[in-house]
Each structure stands twice: as C-alpha cells, then as structure tokens.
Structure 1
Amino acid sequence: MTLGNKIFWLFLFFIVGVFLSSLEIKIIYLVLGELVVVLAFLFLGIHKSSKTFLILAVLSVLFLVGAVYENVFDYYRFQKNLPEYDIQKVIEGRIVSYPKSTGKSISFLLKTDERKIISVTTTIFDNFSYGDSVRLESAISRLNEKNSYLKKDGVVGTVPFPKIIERKASQEFSFRKELFKLRENFVSVFNKILNRNESSLMSGILLGQESTQFPSDLKLAMKNSGTTHLVALSGYNILILINAIYFALGFVFKRKTNFIVSLLAIVVFVIMTGGEASVVRAALMGALVLLAQNANRVYNFKNSVAAAAFAMILFNPKVIVFDVGFVLSFLALFGIVYLASSLNALVLFKNEFWDGVKKTFFETFSAQVMVIPVLAAYFGGFSLSGLLSNVIILSLVPITMLAGFLVGLAGMIFLPLAKIGGIVLWPLLSFETTVIEFFGSWSLVSVSLGAAGVVFYYLTALFFVRKLFLKAKERELNFGFV
C-alpha cells in the first residue's frame, strides 16, 4: 500500500468514526464494531498473506479516535456549556449572524455575555443588524429534532419571540458587517431591474434563500416542484457557478490564467455572500475541482478531498450530520470529478463551444444524480414532477448564476449597465419561474427512498460510475485526477 493510500484510509476511518458517533451510537457499540473490523482485517491479512489488510487493521484504530474526538468535542462545546433552560430571565448578548427573514419572523444567532450561542426568533417588526447588542427577556428552550441542525453553529438553545428590552446598534467597524451590506447591495440591484418573482429567484439562486423574501405563491410552487434546493446556497450551487465561470473565462484566457482568475472569482463570491462558513467550505470544494481540472495525471484527487473533509470535520465535527450543505458539497464534487469527467472523456465534440456546453451539462447532470437522495431526505421527499422540472431548470442554472453575478457587479458600479444586462437575464429567470409554477401546479406523488433505498441508490450509482471511469481509462484518456 502506497503512502498516499495509507493517508486516505487514515482520514476515511477517522471521518466514519466521527459520523457514527454523531448519530449518538453508544461508544461501547462502536468499540465492539471496531473490534470486529480489526479481527476481520487480521484474518484476511493472515489468510491471504496480504500486508494491505494488516495495514488496514492498524489504520482502522482511527475509527475509534474519530468517535472519541466527537464525544470530547460535544462535551466541551455543548454538554459543559449548557444554559439554564425554561427559566424566565434577562439575556444580554451580541448578534453574530446575518438576521434571516421568513416573511413572518426574523431569526438570528445571539452570543450571550456568558459566551453561549442561542437562536432568537422575533417578529418582522423588529429591526436587527449584525453586531447589534441586544437585551431581552425570555426563557431558553432546548433544541429538538426539528432544529437540531443548529448544532453545526454551536447553538445550545432557542428563544422564540422574547420581550425586547433594548437594542443598541454597533458603532464599531466590522469587516463581516460590510460584507453583509455588499450582499444587500446585490439584492437591491436585482429588485430594481427585475420583477418580484424573478428578483427573488435570482437572489436565492446566487446568494441563498436567506438573502430575500419569496412571494408565498412562488415559495409553494418551488416546494411542490422539488426546486427549493436551488436557493439553498449549498456547495452544489456554488460548484455549478464556479464551473460556469471557468467555462466562460476559457474563451478569454489561457488555461493557467483561467485557473488563477477563476480562483480569484471564488474569493470574490465568498466575500459577496458574507463569508459564511458553509460558503467557505463549498468554495474550497470548488477550488479542488479547478485543481483537478488543471493538474497533471499524477494528482491524487481522492486524497485532497479526504484531507479537506478531515480538516473541516476536525474544526467542527457537527457538520457531517447537521449541515446538509457539507454533504451536498462532497456528493456534488464526486459527481463532477468522476462521473462528469468520465462522460466528457467518452463523448467528444469537435466544436470547442459545443464541447464546453456539453461539459457544463454533464457536470450539472452528474452533480444532480449524486445529490437526489439527500435532497429527498432533507426536503421530505422528491416529487416526480421535480425530476422533470430539475432536468429543465438545472441546465440553465450555470448561465443564470453567471449572468446574475455579472449583472449584480455591474449594477453596483453603474445601474444602467445592470438594466442592459437584465435584457439577457430576465428571459432566463422568466422561463425558470414559469417552469417552477407549471410543475408546482402538478399533484404527483412524492417519493421517499428511506435508508435502505438511499444505500441501494448509491451502491448502484457507484457501480455505474466505476464502470464508466474504467472504460474511459481503458481508452487512455487523461483526466487529471487519477
């Protein structure tokens, strides 16, 4: 076994240990499972006289290390830091997240003077900004199954609709606050040049659903048509944007220059969206895709992905279970790098433009194939009409995101430029909203795969991806990520 493969398995065992521990499986069961795995590897190693299995037996110890690390992290970050629940009292702190509006309420994260992070929900009539100091009166509630995803942000409790005693606007300079203002400027440009539905969709696709308020009819249509994930600002969306930028710049710059400019575009996008942790993680995944596309044949992509996942989980183990964007990022990345690259290598066009269009389509399609089960689980099922609507819309998402990005930048410099760009942007968004509303009016059955269905789906997908990958390798095609 090569050093690279040893490192890969070391990271993988650690990640699996963290994942299973995050599911709150008792440590005694994890120890017994590790014992079975070690004995199995030892048996195979001795029986087959294979050093590989013996090495895996040793490396599998990292499975327990990961489980223990998650437990220690949980204790010091949460169990040791729990507030007093269900007791009415005055709470003081500072807002440490961008206030998100649902149209009916506003929610934000508050870091209390005791350095505990709580999620606060208030009425839409309250006006809050990042960095504000807040004094309120309420009781802190425990997290439940519906809001357990907040653990990824270090949240230890929730405060629904408290009595606001005092709010003080922050007078100190905050770089992140300025970034949030930049995002608001983007939304303002879209609101000025587009109709409400188109503006909401553009803001959601490019900046995330928290950046704008969706009309109730459009929100319902997106839910019924299975397209809500388009505005989730997951790693999936960002990977699509990055690939679209790389494709477009390919007509202007040479390969190496395109790579550098695309990396700078990633940095600009992260800044534009407020530098939130989920966006930074997805941007890192996008950078890995660009690296895979520009590296030579000896570049070991799977090790880079494993190392990136290891680093992110080491920093915050809760993301592997409670952050759907984290999971979508890696699944979409796998689809783009392995499935899409295999299809691109096997299907060739002589015309450079159409070959680029084909490449973008395969990347979008491959990412969608890999994330469907997770989307179905996270959004409570995947409608049959959603399959059709996504096939139609996803092919336009890359150019829509790229056009929206450029129009937004132009609008902040000189608004008439954005109005000119809107001539290209509006037809795309108008068509997409029409598709969403059309399929949203269908009443087809929603499909839920279940745990067994998800496992079967991914095993089948891995089988076919491997077949395609090996077929492409047989033709001695250079992928750049072997």
Structure 2
Amino acid sequence: MLGGAKEKIINSKSRTFLLFCFCFIFGVGIFSGFELAAYWLYRLYLLLFLLGFLLILFWHKINWRFFLLGGVFFVLGGARFMFSVPAEDNPNLIKFYNGEQKDLVGYVADEPEIGIDGAKYVVQILDNNISGKILVNLPLYPQYQYGDELKLKCNLQSPKNFVGSNFRYDNYLARQGVWSVCGSPVILSVGEGSSPQSFGIALKNKMLILKSYVGDKINTLWPEPESSLMAGLLYGARSSMPDEIKNNFNKVGLTHIVAISGYNISIIAAILMVSLISFGLNRRRAFWFCISGIILFVLFTGATASVVRAGIMGIIVLLANQLGRLSRVGNILVATAVIILLINPYVLIWDAGFQLSFIATMGLIYLSPIIEEKINLNKKLVGLKSLLLESLISTLSAIIATLPLILYQFGRLSVVAPLANILILWIIPWLMFFGFISVVLSVIFFPLGLVLAWITGLGLKYVIILTEWLAGFSWSSIEISLPIWGLIGLYVILIFVIIRSKKKIHL
C-alpha cells in the first residue's frame, strides 16, 4: 500500500512538487521549535553538501533520488530559519547592545499600535554601523506617525516572555524583525525622515493618513459601538472597540470578522463571489470584481505584510472557485506558503494569523467540495437560498479546518460558532461595501452619506444584538486545551478523511 502511494507521488510532477514544498515547510517548522546556536547553520551547510554529493552518486536510482531531494528541501527549510537568527556576537546588530544604554536615531517603521493607555512603536535604526529594529513603548500622547524620525535614549533590553505562559513574546516580536526593547525611553528630538527609503515611507504614510481620515469619518457617521464595528470590518481596527463587544465576539467565534486575516478574507471572498453570481453577475465579472476589491482593500489598510498575506489567501480561494482544479490551486497555495516563509520563516510557528489563514484557505479549497457533495441537494438553489447555502458550506469548511488549531492556540471552543457564523457572515461583505460607499458619499455630499450610513447601521445593530444574545448563554463557549500531539493527530485524521472523500467524488 505504501509502495503504491510512493509510486503515485514519484510519477506525478504535481504531487512531487507538493511533497518537496512540504519538506521545506517541515524543515522550517522543526528548526523553529528549538533553541539552536548559530553554528547549527554551518552544520546544515555541511549536511546539504553531503546530500548533494549523494545525489550525484545515486541520481540514476529514482527512489534514492526522490528521498535525497526530500532531504535537501528539508535541510533548506531548516537553513532558511537558522539564517534569520541574528548572531549574538555581531556588533553591527542592535541585539548585541542589549543591556546597555545608547542614544539612537531611527524612524517609525510600521503603523503605530495605539492602545487605551499607551502606544507601541517599531523603530528602524538609522546608523551606518548598527542595523535592526527596536520596540518602543511610549505614553499615548504625543503621538508619532509612520515615517517620523526619532532621536531617543534607550536602556536596551531583550524581550521578556510572560511569566506562567507558554507564549513566546520574544519570538512573536522576532517575526517583525524586533530583537530589542527600548527600556525607559526618552525622546530627545523629532524630525522628518531622511532615509534612503523616504519615498516609500512618504507613500505609505499618505495611505495611513487616508486610513486615519476614514476612521474620523466613520466616527462621525455611526455612534458607538457601531462605529468601532465598522472600523474593524473595514481595516481591522479593534483598539477602540468596547471590551464587552470584544468578549462577545470571542465567545461566539466571530473575532475573525474584525481582524485582517486570510481566514476572514477567504470566507468573505467566497461568500461575496456567490452573492454576486446569485444577483445576476456572470462568474468571470464576479471573479475580477472580487479580485479588485481585495487588492484595493490591501492597499487601503496600508499593505502591511500580514494584510498582503491575507489578501493572497483570499485570491487563492477565488482561484479555486474559478479554476475548479484542486491540484493546481493546492500547489499554488503551498508554493505561496513557501515563498512567504522564504521572506519571513518566523510566521510559521509564531504567527497564529498566518496559521489560521493558511489552514482556513486549505479548508475552503478541499473541504468545501466534500461538504457540498455530502449535502447532495436534488435541485439547484438560486438567490438568497444559494447565498445562505454557500455561507453554510464556507463556514463549516473553515471551522472544521481551523478547530484543532484554535483549541491548541487559544484553548477555547465556541459551541455557538457555527450558528453565529451562518447567521452573520452572509451580511458582512455587504456591510463592508455599503459602509465604504457611505464614507465616500459623506465626502462628496454629507447628508446623502449619512442616510446610507443610517441604513447600514441597521445591519451593524443586527450583528451586535445577535452576537450579544448568543454570547449570553453560559454554555456559549467552553475552555478546552488541546496538546500538541492532539493537534497533530486530529489533522492526520482530517487529511485521511479528505483523501478518502476525494477519491469517492473524483475531485
């Protein structure tokens, strides 16, 4: 049986490509989970040389060649991760100076994270002899913008992990390229950026100013908590959302609708595609409309790395619906994951958003056709019924695919999540669309925008009231923690079920 499976993989270029990609991903994952010294990178180079030598010797033997190539891609994955770990003894890296006080000059390199009682800034160091990023925690005011140049005095420290928690805060920051925290920061001066990247900084800064302007318009058009919900839907802003609303969304499994992730965008893109087709738009035009919408959304939110990844996942789901060939789309998805890991290998283990995005997209691509086949409707549904059915299928696919990961990462099972998603997800694309139109109209002719905002507000109230009602049940969510072996076991079972079902329905 295993021999037959091996022969199928070896004789299929598509399956061979997929397996080698997974070998690379597996290599990144294994080496991400261990604290290894920098010299391990040289060991991996030696191992890579040995595998290359063996490949030359046994190239004519197809089985040997197949397994050795798998080993090469595994080692390449491990080497890519180890290459991203900065050396402890390199004086050209900011990490070398942790534990010292230094005067530094840098610019705000990412959108500031503004909270209720403070602000976090990622600052890129501008120094000919030192490179790297630092995290600076400052009071809420004065606020600094993306691209602002800061001269500051820091007691540099290594990021500290939270006591009593398995969460690795240091690796969480490492995915952003941050290896040092500025303790007891003192801002000495503020100026306009003059770095070589100033054009790109200025362009992104204009986009973020536009985003801030839209936020002000949202606060004018809708009262709280509707305004916070709309801001979350349009650009993932949650800092101003009341804690009660956040907790309700968390309990009913709807946090993803106010977070920019591939999990959210993939589901919404799939539902929007069917919605447009149901209302008379042909499939080709609906496809390009959705693609354009995702690209504009990514640009509007500042085109950060996480948003770009989310947009890519959403586009892949649309490709799956358009092409209808799972082998091609599956290879595209896995190849995209490899490219993302080549750019930033830390996201595989230390970025829950990437994990949810990738697995939810896999679920929408591979589980949706299986669930649709199992439902086996005798008549073709159109209009609202088709929209609700697609919402049900997309929701169940994403929930089933991501449930083991959610239990492992967050330790909470939302019992009402399927019902909440079915009742609410169908309206989210339309709230986003009409919310955006309301903002645009308010700029052109404010009273007209206000009228449309009032109508859209009814949908926002529907989401808030329904969420509050479902979260009110004592049994709406249950604390369940899943160990790592349970996570692996459940996904092995899920993959087995998909393969069996795939053979039966000839996907």
Give the alignment's TM-score, normalised by structure 1: 0.85
Which one of the candidate residues 100, 113, 118 is aligned to 1:105?
118
Amino acid at match of 1:366: S
Distance 1:156 1:308 in 2: 27
Distance 1:281 1:176 in 2: 17
Provide the residue aligned with 2:457 in structure 1.
Answer: 426
Distance 1:363 1:77 in 2: 46
Which one of the candidate residues 175, 181, 185 is aligned to 1:162?
185
1:95 lines up with 2:108 in the alignment: yes
| Closer/same/farther in 2, CA of residues 299 and 78 from structure 1, 3 Å limit | farther
Distance 2:431 2:149 in 1: 38
Q: Which piece of structure 1 moves more, 440-449 or 145-154?
A: 440-449
Which one of the candidate residues 376, 389, 392 is aligned to 1:361?
392
Q: Which piece of structure 1 moves more, 14-23 or 450-459?
A: 450-459
CA contact (8 A) 1:400 1:429 kept: no
> 1:309-458 alignment to 2 at 5 Å?
309-346=337-374, 347-348=376-377, 349-353=379-383, 354-378=385-409, 380-383=410-413, 386-389=414-417, 391-393=419-421, 395-414=423-442, 415-438=446-469, 440=471, 445-458=478-491
CA contact (8 A) 2:294 2:311 kept: yes
| Closer/same/farther in 2, CA of residues 150 and 59 from structure 1, 3 Å limit | same
Distance 2:19 2:261 in 1: 27
- Give the SS at the match of 2:158: coil
> 1:84-163 alignment to 2 at 5 Å?
84-114=97-127, 115-144=131-160, 145-160=168-183, 162-163=185-186
CA contact (8 A) 2:236 2:258 kept: yes
1:7 lines up with 2:17 in the alignment: yes
Provide the residue aligned with 1:278 in structure 2.
Answer: 306
1:259 lines up with 2:282 in the alignment: no
Distance 2:210 2:392 in 1: 31
1:243 lines up with 2:300 in the alignment: no
1:71 lines up with 2:71 in the alignment: no
1:319 is displaced (CA, Å) by 1.4
Q: Which runs of 4+ in 1 moved over 6 A?
A: 76-80
Distance 1:83 1:286 in 2: 40
Q: Which has the higher contact order (CA 8 A, sep 6+)?
A: 1
Which one of the candidate residues 237, 241, 246 is aligned to 1:214?
241
Distance 2:458 2:140 in 1: 32
CA contact (8 A) 1:340 1:359 kept: no
Which one of the candidate residues 28, 44, 53 is aligned to 1:18?
28
Q: Which piece of structure 1 moves more, 408-417 or 333-342?
A: 408-417
Distance 1:440 1:147 in 2: 33
Distance 1:382 1:5 in 2: 35
Distance 2:329 2:20 in 1: 16
CA contact (8 A) 1:204 1:231 kept: yes
- Give the SS at the match of 1:97: coil
The percent identity for this pair of structures is 24
Amino acid at match of 1:107: K
- Give the SS at the match of 2:146: coil
- Give the SS at the match of 2:380: coil
Distance 1:363 1:304 in 2: 20
1:253 is displaced (CA, Å) by 2.8
1:157 is displaced (CA, Å) by 1.2
Distance 2:126 2:447 in 1: 46
Provide the residue aligned with 2:58 in structure 1.
Answer: none
- Give the SS at the match of 1:196: coil
> 1:8-87 alignment to 2 at 5 Å?
8-24=18-34, 26=36, 55-75=66-86, 81=93, 82-87=95-100
CA contact (8 A) 2:261 2:306 kept: yes
CA contact (8 A) 2:438 2:449 kept: yes
Distance 1:358 1:186 in 2: 34
CA contact (8 A) 1:227 1:390 kept: no
| Closer/same/farther in 2, CA of residues 375 and 401 from structure 1, 3 Å limit | farther
1:54 is displaced (CA, Å) by 5.9
| Closer/same/farther in 2, CA of residues 416 and 321 from structure 1, 3 Å limit | farther
Provide the residue aligned with 2:164 in structure 1.
Answer: none
Distance 1:341 1:166 in 2: 58
**For structure 2, which runs of at least 5 residues remain unmatched after alignment?**
1-10, 52-60, 161-167
CA contact (8 A) 1:139 1:159 kept: yes
Q: Which piece of structure 1 moves more, 335-344 or 70-79?
A: 70-79
**For structure 1, which runs of at least 5 residues remain unmatched after alignment?**
39-49, 474-481
Provide the residue aligned with 1:42 in structure 2.
Answer: none
1:98 is displaced (CA, Å) by 0.7
Q: Write out per-residue CA displacement over residues 243-291 of structure 1, whole angstroms, 9 at most, x where no aligned residue.
A: 2332233234322222222211111111111111111111111111111
Distance 2:355 2:369 in 1: 20
CA contact (8 A) 2:170 2:179 kept: no
| Closer/same/farther in 2, CA of residues 52 and 416 from structure 1, 3 Å limit | farther
Provide the residue aligned with 1:45 in structure 2.
Answer: none
Provide the residue aligned with 2:503 in structure 1.
Answer: 470
CA contact (8 A) 1:135 1:167 kept: yes
- Give the SS at the match of 1:301: helix
| Closer/same/farther in 2, CA of residues 22 and 77 from structure 1, 3 Å limit | farther
1:440 is displaced (CA, Å) by 4.7
Distance 1:167 1:85 in 2: 24
Provide the residue aligned with 1:231 in structure 2.
Answer: 258
1:442 is displaced (CA, Å) by 5.4
Amino acid at match of 1:72: F
1:198 is displaced (CA, Å) by 1.9
- Give the SS at the match of 1:167: strand
Q: Write out per-residue CA displacement over residues 319-373 of structure 1, whole angstroms, 9 at most, x where no aligned residue.
A: 1112222111110111111111222244334232222321122112211222223
- Give the SS at the match of 1:104: coil
CA contact (8 A) 1:142 1:157 kept: yes
Distance 1:110 1:20 in 2: 30
| Closer/same/farther in 2, CA of residues 162 and 431 from structure 1, 3 Å limit | same
Distance 1:410 1:429 in 2: 13
1:23 is displaced (CA, Å) by 1.1
Distance 1:225 1:297 in 2: 34
| Closer/same/farther in 2, CA of residues 96 and 190 from structure 1, 3 Å limit | same
Q: Which piece of structure 1 moves more, 399-408 or 284-293?
A: 399-408
